[in-house]
Structure 1
Amino acid sequence: MECEEEGCDAEAAVELHIPWDANVRVCPGHARTWAQKDGVVPEPMDGHEDAWP
């Protein structure tokens, strides 16, 4: 599955639980940016546990 961020073709490895919006699946790079926002909870997707600390 591809990262759901517009213009990114990287593989999604993290599901972000965003309280004010729908959950999204993104690559580790975008997950790092999103994870800094209050309330966002990143969770590694099955099989990608090594891609997210």
Structure 2
Amino acid sequence: MNSCAESGCEERAAVRIYVPWDADRDVCAGHARVLVQQDGVVAEPLDGGDDNW
């Protein structure tokens, strides 16, 4: 598994987020919870990722 794409985070990526105004990226569950609260951001769980997001 890849690491979270967010700067300074070393957690395992569990979710791919699709951001209309920025690059799509794989992030950990914690960052996904925050990022998907923005309008237009869509999240998709990665295979084998953390199911607790």
Q: Which residue of 2 aligns with 1:40?
A: 41
Deviations 1:1-53 (A, max 9, x none): 1000000000000000001111010000000000100000010011226243x
Amino acid of the residue matched to residue 11 of structure 2?
Answer: A
User: Which runs of 5 or more residues in structure 2 are unaligned?
Assistant: none
Instruction: Quote the RMSD (CA, aligned, Å).
Output: 1.2
Give the structure 1 partner of residue 9 of structure 2. Answer: 8
User: What TM-score do the two structures reach when normalised by structure 2?
Assistant: 0.89
Instruction: Percent identity, please.
Output: 54
Instruction: Return the letter of the residue paired with 1:26.
Output: V
Query: Following the alignment from structure 1 to structure 2, what is the Cα–Cα distance between the partners of residues 32 and 46?
Result: 17
Task: Tell me how many residue pairs correspond in the alignment.
Answer: 52
Q: 1:39 to 1:31 in 2, by over 3 A?
A: same
What TM-score do you get using the length of structure 1 for normalisation?
0.89
Moved more, 43-52 or 9-18: 43-52
More helix by share: 1
